[in-house]
Structure formats: C-alpha cells, structure tokens
C-alpha cells in the first residue's frame, strides 16, 4: 500500500452536510464531512487525540467536528478549538490531528494520503468522460472484496483472462489469443489497447443489438484497459452498439480487504430503464473475477518480478510491478494493518499517514501526538539491522521471461 497518492474514497453524493462519514483506506480510518459554510469536504484522521474516540460518530458544529466522547471541537484543519471541560485554559499544542487535502472531481471525493507539497503530488486520474453527461449515462456501485487490491488491479487490466473467467458474458472462449496490442504509458499510468473477437451479446443487449451476424464474421471490438497508480482502473469497450467505459477505484481498506467503487458509462440504452441491467452486468463481472482472485496465492502481490512467470500478454502488469518496486524504494509504501485495526486485529499503537502540514510547518514537529506509519523500506532496513547475518539486502535483477516484449519501457523514478 502506498502513501503520497490521491485516493478516491467515496462518491460525492454520499457525503451530505450534517452527516459525518467514516471511510477506511491504507489501514487508516478517516472522517469525512461537508462544511455547512461552503459545502467543501473535510477529511481528517478519525482518531481523537484525547482518548482515541472516532470523530465520525460525533457531530458537525459550524465548520468544526465535535468528538462524541468529551466534546473536543476540531477545526477543518485538525486543530482543537475548544476543550469543554476546561474552557478557561489554553489549548495544548499537541491538541491536533492530521487533516488531508481533498478534491471533488469526476463524481468522487479524492483525499491526498501523504505529506507531499501540492506541486509534487501525482495527478488524479483523468476520468473526464465521467463529467460528459451529454454523451454518457452513468451508473455507480460498490463491491466489498476480501482480496488484496493489487491482485484486483492486475486482474482488472488483464486481457488474457477474459475468455476463461468471463466466458458467456464478454469473454470469447473460442478466441483466447491476445493479438498485438498498443501501449501508452506515463510514470503514473499504462493503457493497453487491443482488438478482440467478441462473443455473442446476451440478454437485452443481444436482443436489441443491430448486429446479429454470425459470430465468426462479427467485426473486431476495440478493447483497452488502463491502470493509474496506485489503484484506479478503466475498461473501455467499443461495442457495435456504442461505447462502454467502466472506471473504478480499488480502495485498500487494508492489505487483505478492498472496496471497489465503480462508475460505469454507456452511450447506448441511455434511458433510466436500462440502469439496473447495466449495474447488474458490472456486478456479474466482479463476482466472476472474485471467484478466481480469491484463490490466488500468495494473497499479496510478490515483491520480486521473478517470483511469478510473465508472458507478453502480462505486459501492463509487469510495468505495474516495476513501478511499484520503484515506489517502495522511494519510501512510499506503508506498513499494512497496524494502525487502528478492529476486533481481534486491533493493535495497541496508533500510527497515521503524515499530512502535508507536518512538512510545511517544521516548528510543529513536536506537536504531533501520533507517530507516522512506517514504510516497507524502513521496516526492511530495521529488520536487516536486527539480523545482520541474514540474507543480503541487495535486490537481485528481476528475472523476466523470454517472451517479455523487447520494448518494455523503463520509467524514471520521479518520486
Ligand atoms: S476522546 Fe475525544 S474528546 Fe475525549
Ligand atoms: Fe475480469
């Protein structure tokens, strides 16, 4: 899991003025609330610095949020403004928690989970089609998945699995070959485009589809899959009857649990009557994927490329794994599931993702009560210090299969 990215954490329409909302991401619990004064959304650590109560169970008063336990009032910047038990005393310097930058865009609330200054932050994925409501009809949905988000992300951009996992829906088991594909990349995304033989459309799409020709003679369907770091996907399909675009974020609640939030756009059957069917189709695909991804071992994505075997059709996943390794080396990974767990996984130590103010105002360094989460890089170096006779920490050159595309681009570490 990685800090220093914008995370789409909730649909904009699901955070209303007056109702704080709890969301979880990167093993952290956040409270979201909409300020009555200007309607802007606030995101802060859902962890009262006094006794650790969840602010998301509290109330909004003016633009502040009030802790449900002893009534401490927090400003949108995370500073305590009032301690009702001692109104005559000053507010301690340490009476503050991390508040994170928020942007509302493409129907979602994006929270920047990290401490980078604005100009160094990676971009929010370009989902501008979501805003083109003239061209597209949108449906949204949420799917809780007990698998690691990186396994889910790789599955979402994997072209070769569709004839097997989605046979009978959009995969064509008679044509499993993955032809040559085009690739567009940047340090933050990879888009692979290919033309596939479509299966016969099912249900109302089949009944109303103007193209009822023989399966073998149907035109090829342009399909593309895109990943954006750290966890967003787009599947685009140019069907004969129109375009289909499914955007989703795979929110890492923790290392083993993912909340998928999708926005599915279509240019055909744009009446409300077809919404339920459009949503049902996405859930059907997700359930087909879930049945396979939940069986994958190891449950977490390996760190070394050579731990699994790659072929040409895995190109965009290999690129993802290389980029991910660079981010880990840059210190952007965060230790999973150690912050404020629940039930039997609850821990005794609360650590948080640092927010930008920690860097912006170094004078406050001693005023942060909660320590920062540790990175994998840090944990590895700590482990190496503790066990000096263990295996060397140098990274072996990844062993890449001969079938890997020759032109596999290398991305620069820009972090
Ligand atoms: S725990 Fe929040 S005010 Fe005491
Ligand atoms: Fe799939």
Give the tokens for residue 248.
């989703």
CA dihedral 405, 407, 412, 415 (to 10 degrees): -30
Evaluate whether residue 405 is within a structural domain. no
Q: Are residues 59 and 133 in the same domain?
A: no
Give me ligand 1 centre to Cα 89, in Å: 17
Among the listed ranges 42-56, 128-142, 152-166, 168-182, which one has the minimum average pLDDT value? 168-182
Q: Are residues 238 and 198 in the same domain?
A: yes
| pLDDT single digits (tens) 217-227 | 678 899 999 99
Nearest CA to ligand 1 atom 4: 70
Evaluate whether residue 187 is within a structural domain. yes
H/E run at residue 319? helix 315-329
* Residue 210 confidence (pLDDT): 57
Atom of ligand 1 nearest to the CA of 51: 1
Give the ligand with the smallest distance to the CA of 52.
1
Give me ligand 1 centre to Cα 78, in Å: 14
Q: Are residues 209 and 254 in the same domain?
A: yes
* Helices 376-386/315-329 angle, 10° precision: 60
Atom of ligand 1 nearest to the CA of 70: 3
Total of domains in the chain: 2
Domain final position from 120, 136, 171: 120
How many C-beta atoms surround the C-beta of residue 264 within 10 A? 22
Among the listed ranges 67-71, 177-181, 197-201, 385-389, which one has the minimum average pLDDT value? 385-389
192 and 223 in contact (C-beta within 8 Å)? no
* Residue 173 confidence (pLDDT): 86
Average predicted confidence (pLDDT) for the chain: 87
CB half-sphere exposure, 163, CA atoms < 13 A:
11
Atom of ligand 1 nearest to the CA of 72: 3
Give the tokens for residue 219.
């035109």
Evaluate whether residue 338 is within a structural domain. no
Evaluate whether residue 284 is within a structural domain. no
Q: Are residues 203 and 227 in the same domain?
A: yes
Domain final position from 321, 345, 362: 321
Kindly state the average pLDDT of the residues 138-144: 98
Evaluate whether residue 296 is within a structural domain. no
Q: Are residues 103 and 169 in the same domain?
A: no
Q: Are residues 77 and 115 in the same domain?
A: yes
Spatial CA neighbour of 46 closest among 62, 28, 63: 28
Confidence of residue 30 (pLDDT cuts 50, 70, 90): very high
Choose between 380 and 60: higher pLDDT.
60
* Residue 113 confidence (pLDDT): 98
Q: Are residues 57 and 96 in the same domain?
A: yes
Q: Are residues 165 and 182 in the same domain?
A: yes
The pick from 72, 83, 91 for probing ligand 1's pocket by mutation, whose C-beta has the most ligand atoms within 8 angstroms, reads 72
Evaluate whether residue 167 is within a structural domain. yes
The pick from 31, 50, 66 for probing ligand 1's pocket by mutation, whose C-beta has the most ligand atoms within 8 angstroms, reads 50
Evaluate whether residue 191 is within a structural domain. yes
Q: Is the pLDDT of residue 53 over 60?
A: yes
In which domain, by residue range, is 25 found? Answer: 5-120
Question: Could you tell me where the DSSP H helices lie in 209-361?
Answer: 275-293, 315-329, 357-360
Report the DSSP beta bridge partners of residue 108. Answer: 11, 105
Q: Are residues 110 and 139 in the same domain?
A: no
SS3 279: helix
Give the tokens for residue 199.
């299966």
Spatial CA neighbour of 229 closest among 261, 260, 184, 188: 188
Kindly state the average pLDDT of the residues 173-178: 88
Please give the Cα distance from 334 to 300 (Å, whole number): 14
* Residue 381 confidence (pLDDT): 58
67 Cβ inside 6 Å of ligand 1: yes
Evaluate whether residue 28 is within a structural domain. yes
Which domain CATH number covers 88? 2.102.10.10
The pick from 29, 31, 44, 53 for probing ligand 1's pocket by mutation, whose C-beta has the most ligand atoms within 8 angstroms, reads 53
Give me ligand 1 centre to Cα 375, in Å: 29
Give me ligand 1 centre to Cα 410, in Å: 49
Q: Are residues 200 and 98 in the same domain?
A: no
85 Cβ inside 6 Å of ligand 1: no
193 and 224 in contact (C-beta within 8 Å)? yes
């Amino acid at each position: 899991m990685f800090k220093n990215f914008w995370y789409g954490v909730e649909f904009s329409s699901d955070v209303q003025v007056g109702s704080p909302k709890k969301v979880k991401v990167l093993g952290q619990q956040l409270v979201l609330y909409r300020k009555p004064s200007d309607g802007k959304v606030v995101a802060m650590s859902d962890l009262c610095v006094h006794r650790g109560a969840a602010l998301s169970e509290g109330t909004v008063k003016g633009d502040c949020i009030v802790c449900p336990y002893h009534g401490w009032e927090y400003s949108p910047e995370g500073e305590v403004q009032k301690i009702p038990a001692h109104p005559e005393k000053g507010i301690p310097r340490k009476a503050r928690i991390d508040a994170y930058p928020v942007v509302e865009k493409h129907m979602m609330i994006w929270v920047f989970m990290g401490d980078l200054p604005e100009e160094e932050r990676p971009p929010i994925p370009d989902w501008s089609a979501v805003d083109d409501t003239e061209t597209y009809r949108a449906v949204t949905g949420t799917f809780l998945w007990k698998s690691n988000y990186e396994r889910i992300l790789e599955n979402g951009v994997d072209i070769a699995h569709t004839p097997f996992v989605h046979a009978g829906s959009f995969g064509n088991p008679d044509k499993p070959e993955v032809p040559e594909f085009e690739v567009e990349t940047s340090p933050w995304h990879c888009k692979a485009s290919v033309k596939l033989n479509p299966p016969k459309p099912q249900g109302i799409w089949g009944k109303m589809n103007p193209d009822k020709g023989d399966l073998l003679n149907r035109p090829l369907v342009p399909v593309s899959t895109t990943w954006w770091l750290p966890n967003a996907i787009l599947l685009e399909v140019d069907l004969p009857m129109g375009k289909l675009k499914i955007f989703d974020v795979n929110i890492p609640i923790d290392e083993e649990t993912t909340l998928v939030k999708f926005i599915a756009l279509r240019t055909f059957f744009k009446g409300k009557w077809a919404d339920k069917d459009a949503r049902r189709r996405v859930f059907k695909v997700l359930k087909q994927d879930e049945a396979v991804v939940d069986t994958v071992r190891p449950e977490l994505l390996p760190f070394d490329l050579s731990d699994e075997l790659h072929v040409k059709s895995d190109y965009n996943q290999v690129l993802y794994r290389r980029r991910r390794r660079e981010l880990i080396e840059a210190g952007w990974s965060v230790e999973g599931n150690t912050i404020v767990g629940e039930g039997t996984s609850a821990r005794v130590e609360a650590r948080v993702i640092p927010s930008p103010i920690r860097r912006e105002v170094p004078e406050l360094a001693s005023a942060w009560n909660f320590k920062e989460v540790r990175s994998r890089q840090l944990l590895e170096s700590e482990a190496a210090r503790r066990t000096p006779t263990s295996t060397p920490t140098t990274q072996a050159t990844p062993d890449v299969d001969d079938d890997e595309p020759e032109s596999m681009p290398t991305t620069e570490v820009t972090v």
